[in-house]
Structure 1
């Protein structure tokens, strides 16, 4: 209990102290180990805690179609027992130390996370290395976790937003791995075997595919010594990777209507967007903040929520991944208002593509994006996660200094240019989940010929 109380107290303070430095003052050290693992270290001695994130390039994009959800299940199984420790032993040991140890899958990668007191760093690294390098995939645990994942997938059938997003991705990313949900579907997950998990882990969980971020109360030499001690025997393996086709823009507007007995219509509208390395990323971030990503200050919220009173939940987002993700507008409104909401969305898309944004809109967007940037770094956990992504996307160690400068440099002309380039109102997918007899989606309103 004392150990747990110490870590809880440290974590409470973590949000106040680890972000005390300005973003530009964060100077990561980057080392590539002999076995090919990239290690990023930020020494933050404010509190006696250490966060370690290990990102492995082993995401859902590598799942075969017939085994969608495989990478996610492998990640879910990492802390469910190793060759020397049962799932219960791992859970009890990390709980006794007052630490946290978990893993999760994603589209491009999987991540294992450790948070531990400085004095317990050695045993923390022991457990982290064990789950990454030596998962057992015990048949009983495999069956239990598979059943849990299938149960979760079944519950998603009642979630309109998930139904709409899945249908949207199938339209936008036809023929591309991003069309599949990272957690797969009932049909594929039910058939996943222990051998599937073992083979995927053996193939993709290698140090030369891993990015480790270490943030907290460890000096560089201490951190590297722990890495060498616990991960030095992890064997690398070169892997010929599949060449994924670039997501193709839709040739014409595409509409999918899903009839559900609901009082609210869930709407997703959009198309292929940009990847994270796109040089226009920062201008797109400012443009999207003004359009629908800026919460209550965005145009879509002001018009549809505040002025028209038609929706509480409305916004837009660019998912900038390793490969181009999606641009999407999300709205929930009452069924009878669906056509009016769609008309307003199209009008706002047209406006931001044809008219320069206002000086105050631009200033407010840039001020928010720059001002909120330190909040993405204000705990060791947030900073470690961002370090993983900076390395994954090849953004460089000067990113923490360059991000505010890049946002500040965006002009009205840039916003108009990227809106015209990356918003394509003639090549979009539109998904509506609603009681269609009430929503009565008008093909003329949405400029679609059925």
Structure 2
């Protein structure tokens, strides 16, 4: 080997180390955490590079808290927050937001409601007051509620036309059963019709409380200024008093001991296939071993085994991927693929084969290092905007990951071994006897093999 080549290799190694150190440290968050007298948890990270402030207010309210007969109540409550308060009409709220170029949006996840604010520093005080007004004092007027219910039902009907949506909806129902994770957050037209104004008022009163909430703030604002805003608009003095969070009463998670296939007939050229089963909770200690294992199996795009086998070698589909969705109380594992109806049996056979190989075999050094490099290398992208930083901090708090999680994450991933990956595969990947298989497509052309039912 020439001296020139040795120098090039040494320089490349030095650059790799430099980039690695930069990606770990450059986006580290200097997070400050404080609990207010009314129980509200506040997370704060100052950023002065842009005159922008981003806030994420997480409310411990979701479909986990609504009665089954009123499915969609949590989503409807969130959607109604910006549609009028006790002193502002819906039109006035949206006009004030539009005038400043800010945004206030409420979204529902499987575990919580997130109310987000993005605003220029010069309009911060005015928009913070509107945010607080929407969260604390929604009017839930009958007229706005009727209109919102029709919009939500129209959205559901539109989604039902999608084979992919239909497959996912059926899959979650099979995996989670009567547990709330098993139904879509929007609810169903028949349950939405049953929701009355009083239901929203009571839901809001029971669950929109400070002791179950997290306010995460990132941007061009001082700590003292933030505390003054909270004291004025989100404190007991402002009317947001501390009270116990209403206890959740949810159904038992089902245990699957036998495989099951759900076949939904649609006159389509392609079959939408989801194969999977139960997953893991977000606070599971094996979460990171599972993440590395899944990257190798089907979560790593072109680098994953399933893509190399099913797309590259067999040519059955343009895309196939696997993922673990992890929530507060449970999770699910899915392998998702669209393929020609006639290829369905071959695709299912190969998916099961790849899962079996992952459970029984050993990953290579190249696969392990590639997974680690991607998971650590892509991590800074989770923190490259104010929006991402704000939501990241809120989720870290909600799931109890620790205020130094951003600094610990690369080390956690890099410490995972081949044995950790194998153990995670054996423990959390389903067997060929207890999976859930959902196929939406032309069932006559598919002709699913009886071995998979």
Is TM more than 0.5 here?
yes
Alpha-carbon distance in structure 1 between the residues aligned to 2:271 and 2:342: 8
Provide closer, same or farther for how the CA distance between residues 399 and 246 of structure 1 changes in structure 2, counting only shifts above 3 A: farther
Question: Cα distance, 1:143 vs. partner?
Answer: 0.5
Question: Cα distance, 1:358 vs. partner?
Answer: 0.8
Deviation per residue, 1:88-131 (Å, 9 max, x gap): 11111111111111111121110111011112211111011011
TM-score, with structure 2 as normaliser? 0.92
Q: 1:310 aligned to 2:316?
A: yes
Deviation per residue, 1:216-268 (Å, 9 max, x gap): 01121211121111101212221341354552331111111111111110111
Q: 1:61 aligned to 2:64?
A: yes
Alpha-carbon distance in structure 1 between the residues aligned to 2:381 and 2:27: 13
| Residue in structure 1 matched with residue 135 of structure 2 by the alignment | 132
Q: Flag structure 1 segments of 5+ consecutive residues without an equivalent.
A: 1-18
Corresponding residue to 1:80 among 76, 83, 88: 83
Alpha-carbon distance in structure 2 between the residues aligned to 1:336 and 1:136: 54
| Residue in structure 1 matched with residue 234 of structure 2 by the alignment | 231
Deviation per residue, 1:202-221 (Å, 9 max, x gap): 11101111111000011212
Question: Cα distance, 1:27 vs. partner?
Answer: 1.9
Bigger-Rg structure (1/2):
2
| Residue in structure 1 matched with residue 305 of structure 2 by the alignment | 299
Question: Cα distance, 1:57 vs. partner?
Answer: 0.6
Preserved contact between residue 24 and residue 410 of structure 2 (Cα < 8 Å): no
SS of 2:373's partner is helix
Alpha-carbon distance in structure 1 between the residues aligned to 2:252 and 2:390: 29
Question: Cα distance, 1:382 vs. partner?
Answer: 0.8
Alpha-carbon distance in structure 1 between the residues aligned to 2:249 and 2:86: 34
Alpha-carbon distance in structure 1 between the residues aligned to 2:298 and 2:187: 29
Q: 1:366 aligned to 2:372?
A: yes
Preserved contact between residue 70 and residue 195 of structure 2 (Cα < 8 Å): yes
Superposition RMSD on alpha carbons, in Å?
A: 1.4
Alpha-carbon distance in structure 2 between the residues aligned to 1:75 and 1:335: 39
| Residue in structure 2 matched with residue 242 of structure 1 by the alignment | 248
Alpha-carbon distance in structure 2 between the residues aligned to 1:206 and 1:76: 17
SS of 2:318's partner is strand
Q: 1:122 aligned to 2:129?
A: no
Question: Cα distance, 1:147 vs. partner?
Answer: 0.1
Alpha-carbon distance in structure 2 between the residues aligned to 1:35 and 1:118: 26
SS of 1:80's partner is coil
1:368-387 aligned within 5 A: 368-387=374-393
Alpha-carbon distance in structure 2 between the residues aligned to 1:185 and 1:132: 25
Q: 1:186 aligned to 2:189?
A: yes
Question: Cα distance, 1:41 vs. partner?
Answer: 0.3
Q: 1:260 aligned to 2:263?
A: no
| Residue in structure 1 matched with residue 414 of structure 2 by the alignment | 408
Number of residue pairs aligned between Structure 1 and Structure 2: 428
Preserved contact between residue 65 and residue 249 of structure 2 (Cα < 8 Å): no
Preserved contact between residue 247 and residue 272 of structure 1 (Cα < 8 Å): no
Preserved contact between residue 253 and residue 427 of structure 1 (Cα < 8 Å): yes
SS of 1:213's partner is strand
Deviation per residue, 1:172-214 (Å, 9 max, x gap): 1113111111111111012211111111111110111111100
Q: 1:25 aligned to 2:28?
A: yes
1:334-349 aligned within 5 A: 334-349=340-355
Alpha-carbon distance in structure 2 between the residues aligned to 1:175 and 1:86: 38
Provide closer, same or farther for how the CA distance between residues 374 and 193 of structure 1 changes in structure 2, counting only shifts above 3 A: same
Preserved contact between residue 23 and residue 377 of structure 1 (Cα < 8 Å): no
Provide closer, same or farther for how the CA distance between residues 150 and 310 of structure 1 changes in structure 2, counting only shifts above 3 A: same
| Residue in structure 2 matched with residue 4 of structure 1 by the alignment | none
Q: 1:325 aligned to 2:331?
A: yes
Provide closer, same or farther for how the CA distance between residues 67 and 243 of structure 1 changes in structure 2, counting only shifts above 3 A: closer
Moved more, 20-29 or 162-171: 20-29
Preserved contact between residue 269 and residue 328 of structure 1 (Cα < 8 Å): yes
Provide closer, same or farther for how the CA distance between residues 176 and 345 of structure 1 changes in structure 2, counting only shifts above 3 A: same
